[in-house]
Amino acid sequence: MAIIYIENKPYQAPEGKNLLNACLSLGFNIPYFCWHPALGSVGACRQCAVKKYRDESDTRGQIVMSCMEQVAGGLRISIDDPEVREFRASIIEWLMANHPHDCPVCDEGGECHLQDMTVMAGHAYRRYRFKKRTYANQELGPFINHEMNRCIQCYRCVRFYRDYAGGRDLEVFSAHDHVYFGRHDHGTLESEFSGNLAEVCPTGVFTDKTLKKHYTRKWDLQSAASVCVHCGLGCNTLVAERYGSVRRILSRYNGAVNGYFLCDRGRFGYEFLSSAKRIRRAAKRNSASGAMEPADKKIILRSIKEIIAGGRVIGIGSPRASVESNFALRRLVGPDNFYSGMSAAEEELTALSIRIMKSGCASFPSLRETEKADAVFVLGEDVTNTAPMLALALRQSVKNRAAASLKKNRIPEWDNGSLCVIKDEEPGPLFVASLLPTRLDDAATRIFRGSPTQIARLGQAVAHAVNENLPAVSGLEQAVAKLAEEIARELTEASAPLVVSGAGCLSGPVMEAAANIAAALAAVNPRAGLFLALPESNSFGLGLLSGKPLDQAFQRAEKGEVRAAIILENDLYRRSEKKRVDRFREQCRHVIVLDFIDTATAAKAEIILPTAPFAEADGTLVNNEGRGQRFYRVMDPEEDCRPGWRMLAEIMEYAGIGDAGQWTTIDDIIAGLCAEEPELQGMREIAPPAEFRIYGQRVPRQPHRYSGRTAMKAHEDIHEHKPALDFDSPLTFSMEGFRSGPPPSLIPFYWSAGWNSVHALNKFQAEIGGPLRGGDPGIRMVGSSHKNFEYFKPAPVTPTPGGREYLLVPYFRIFGSEELSVLSPSIAGRIPGNLLLMNESDAKRIGAGNGSLVRVAVADAGASLAVKIDPGIPEGVAGYPAGMPGVEFMNLPAWGAITEGG
């Protein structure tokens, strides 16, 4: 910490940081555009000028850009000096000279950084009398709207898109005052992180196209803190609602998880909430006609009571349901009858990953910490498609070597201009071993492509190279052995090496090999980290509840031991082969499905009870790093919908099971959970209890300028209704309450006086870019304090079957593989189609070309797919679009036959 003087008053500021960051952290308001906490400084916009003085006697001072100034002891500056204020006002006047008169029709209006900064800098009247420059717009796909006239040329978009997110197709064109930000031609932005442009752009050039479809100003949005449900990383989100429908998702800053950004699946997947496939009414199958008919919930609860009274009831949980819902189901059916409902491979890998984390074999960095790794080895995971934000983090990690070299030359790390010059010259080591080409390949130092077995063998070889005592891998090819040596060398030399793996290739040996490497590294370097990605939002949390594998449920049904099954928010057709699930359905006399979307499983149910999805429910999700995070409902569930746990509690109360009648709030359930699972004590600490108050007040979900309260529902009823009550959290569906600085896990939206844009976040952080004031929300549920790790033995090499068999490996797509987000129209527009990826020579062999239909068959299942020839795929391997809409489940990786013709 250094002492700096602002307006002659001493303040403490972190040495070496840039001055703008320090001043904002201290609570001063300095306008800025090109600077962004995550993107660093380039000093381009000249807006953040302050006056710097040589010493106490200096009265003239000199104008400097605060973002390019390093904090050093004794630095004397003035923010309020009249000359520098005039300087800033004239800068913004120039920036505004061509800005169109658009605000009323601009989606950024009301949360516009440019508006805020214009007001802050004191520019109020356009003196420039000449004509305004205009640009033609581009069609940028289903996510992002382009309105180039509004541009102030801050360059943040390309700096984020190209330098930060590694995109290629957004560029700067033209020269002088004609600078244009866009693609070379109309077309969809390819990057998986394009949605962040809407938040990064300080004005309305890039805006959220899905929001535009049902546009609402920020001040009219009722918001609540939430957690993304579209992958296992658990990025924090802000969900915003108006007139009973969710309008958009914004990134909710979490200094330990997602930081400032979100992937496009997380940002635009929310549209499934208003999809036609939503279930909103309780329904029962008419025994005569066989059709589902909406029925009164009371009647349905009565029939469920009868079914439960009949005995032999099992419950099947879900990795996309909250911990509370899964626990409520476990309580309803009893631990012996509770099945986790994951596919066999996911079940095994989730359990393995929990076991590895509990063993404490290495350090387990948070998602944000992976950005700081300086050598990364990815095993078998296509992170861009399975855990997208991890890919963004890894793209940052490759810059660390360049940053270190800057440091050596005494150039501060935040000097983004310098970093970008050398980052491609000295890319950090990133090794990617994958089944199929990945989106991270362009950033990788070396790429290894092979089957899961080969990847596991490479991993074991690396582990052996790191630690001689581990068994060597026999029969390794020369090139692979050399690669293993190189990887091992880079990892051992690095100060913070990181091994990334996960359920991406559905192979246990791969994850075991990753754990071995990490453990071997950790033995010599305590900073060595292991990051294991898991497929779904609550895979980890469900794994902690120790449900039984789905296969055992099927076996019990086979023996006739299952009379009724209660399936919670789960589509079994995504978990197991169609034949087996169909058979299971036939063997169960009653199937009760609790879900919020109409899945193939729900279509065959006898009774459907609608649950509430994340925007309408409270609950806890445990992400892949074991971090329990609470999400809050942004609106009360409609019609019959209830949070899964509440619906189950109602069933229990109706059926008179246990003490469930006392489960009225989520806190009751968590108390019940903690009593049964001492390991999950952390659940209590994740979020403040419902009785939490600040000065006796709740935290409002609505901004103070929320409009239309007396007119929104006036057409239905002239009498104004009492707002919905919230018994589960300290939040309220109101604009009244305590708004300055709620605890970080409760922050419903970012706003501060004079800061209407997303940059209001500055006022909620303890230090800009650092943790939130009061600590980042979420609690790691699995500690790794004690070490009891035993190295995994290399898996035996299974012989390759002869004949014309292909190794079918799953491939996942960020847009398409996830069950819920595909129901979102914007994401549906990006689904690549159900294509079987093949090597050209393989395709030729079976006489198939691009687009021709082939038949794929493995042991238990088969499917007809169109072929896509991809030169990056090894011979004998075919990529199967696992989990894509309309694609049948197969237990992969597996050997299978591919024959021509549907």
Partner 1 sequence: MFSILRSMFLVFIHLFRKKVTLQYPEEKPVLPARWRGRIILTRDPDGGERCVACYLCAAACPVDCIALQAAESADGRRYPEFFRINFSRCIFCGYCEEACPTYAIQLIPDFEMSEYDRRNLVYEKEHLLVDGEGKYKGFNFYKVAGLAITGKGKGEGENEEPPVDVKSLLP
Nearest distance in Å: CB 177, partner 1? 9
Please tell me the distance from the alpha carbon of residue 118 to that of residue 426, in angstroms, as a whole number: 39
Query: Is residue 727 involved in binding partner 1 (CB under 8 A)?
Result: no
Looking at the Cβ atoms of 182 and 626, the one nearer to partner 1 is 182
Find the binder of partner 1 among 69, 93, 116, 147 (CB under 8 A). 147
Nearest distance in Å: CB 394, partner 1? 33
Per-residue tokens: 818: 């996830």
Query: Is residue 723 involved in binding partner 1 (CB under 8 A)?
Result: no
Find the binder of partner 1 among 217, 281, 585, 855 (CB under 8 A). 217
Three-state SS for 458? helix
User: Which segments of 163-232 does DSSP mark as H helices, in order?
Assistant: 196-200, 209-212
Looking at the Cβ atoms of 183 and 399, the one nearer to partner 1 is 183
Nearest distance in Å: CB 705, partner 1? 5
Please tell me the distance from the alpha carbon of residue 683 to that of residue 671, in angstroms, as a whole number: 9
Stretch 85-104: interaction string toward partner 1, x if CB under 8 A: ---------------xxxxx
Find the binder of partner 1 among 54, 277, 705, 804 (CB under 8 A). 705
The DSSP code sequence of 43-98 is: --S-TTEEEEESSTT--S-EEEEGGG-B--TT-EEESS-HHHHHHHHHHHHHHHTT
Query: Is residue 215 involved in binding partner 1 (CB under 8 A)?
Result: yes
Stretch that binds partner 1, among 170-178, 493-501, 503-511, 805-813 (CB under 8 A): 170-178
Query: Is residue 212 involved in binding partner 1 (CB under 8 A)?
Result: yes
Per-residue tokens: 132: 């305004």
The residue length of the chain stands at 902
Stretch that binds partner 1, among 176-184, 343-351, 591-599, 751-759 (CB under 8 A): 176-184
**CA distances in angstroms from 236 to 17, 201, 386, listed in the order given:** 26, 20, 17
Three-state SS for 13? strand
Query: Is residue 243 involved in binding partner 1 (CB under 8 A)?
Result: yes
Element holding 540 (H helix, E strand) = helix 539-544
Looking at the Cβ atoms of 231 and 273, the one nearer to partner 1 is 273
Nearest distance in Å: CB 130, partner 1? 8
Stretch that binds partner 1, among 213-221, 402-410, 756-764, 863-871 (CB under 8 A): 213-221
Nearest distance in Å: CB 719, partner 1? 9
Nearest distance in Å: CB 421, partner 1? 24
Three-state SS for 160? helix
Find the binder of partner 1 among 180, 692, 738, 895 (CB under 8 A). 180
Looking at the Cβ atoms of 106 and 354, the one nearer to partner 1 is 106
416 within 8 A of 41, measured Cβ to Cβ: yes
Stretch 575-614: interaction string toward partner 1, x if CB under 8 A: ----------------------------------------
Looking at the Cβ atoms of 178 and 579, the one nearer to partner 1 is 178
Stretch that binds partner 1, among 38-46, 212-220, 839-847, 850-858 (CB under 8 A): 212-220
CA 547 to chain CA centroid, nearest Å: 25
Query: β-strands 853-857, 779-780: how paired?
Result: unpaired
Find the binder of partner 1 among 9, 60, 127, 176 (CB under 8 A). 176
Nearest distance in Å: CB 535, partner 1? 37
User: By CB under 8 A, how many residues form the interface with partner 1?
Assistant: 45
Query: Is residue 825 involved in binding partner 1 (CB under 8 A)?
Result: no
637 within 8 A of 279, measured Cβ to Cβ: no
503 within 8 A of 346, measured Cβ to Cβ: yes
Find the binder of partner 1 among 309, 603, 714, 859 (CB under 8 A). 714
Nearest distance in Å: CB 129, partner 1? 9
Find the binder of partner 1 among 408, 715, 722, 786 (CB under 8 A). 715
Query: β-strands 853-857, 877-881: how paired?
Result: unpaired
692 within 8 A of 625, measured Cβ to Cβ: no
221 within 8 A of 110, measured Cβ to Cβ: no
Interface residues for partner 1 in 107-136 (CB under 8 A)? 109-110, 130-136
Find the binder of partner 1 among 178, 186, 302, 693 (CB under 8 A). 178
Query: Is residue 704 involved in binding partner 1 (CB under 8 A)?
Result: no
Residue appearing with tokens 């496939």: 277
> If we measure between CA atoms, which residue out of 360, 410, 383 comes closest to residue 785?
360
Please tell me the distance from the alpha carbon of residue 514 to that of residue 462, in angstroms, as a whole number: 9
Beta-bridge mates of residue 739: none
Please tell me the distance from the alpha carbon of residue 566 to that of residue 304, in angstroms, as a whole number: 10
Residues 6+ away with beta carbon under 8 Å from 538:
318, 319, 320, 321, 322, 323, 326, 621, 622
Nearest distance in Å: CB 201, partner 1? 16
> If we measure between CA atoms, which residue out of 695, 786, 679 comes closest to residue 740?
695
Element holding 608 (H helix, E strand) = strand 607-610
Nearest distance in Å: CB 616, partner 1? 20
Beta-bridge mates of residue 393: none
Per-residue tokens: 355: 């076991």
Query: Is residue 187 involved in binding partner 1 (CB under 8 A)?
Result: no
Find the binder of partner 1 among 219, 692, 764, 895 (CB under 8 A). 219
Find the binder of partner 1 among 137, 274, 275, 303 (CB under 8 A). 137
Find the binder of partner 1 among 1, 105, 299, 603 (CB under 8 A). 105
> If we measure between CA atoms, which residue out of 685, 619, 623 comes closest to residue 646?
619
Residues 6+ away with beta carbon under 8 Å from 722:
none
**CA distances in angstroms from 759 to 178, 221, 647, listed in the order given:** 27, 17, 39
Site residues (CB under 8 A) for partner 1? 100-105, 109-110, 130-137, 147, 149-150, 173-176, 178, 180, 182, 212, 214-217, 219-220, 243, 705-712, 714-715, 718
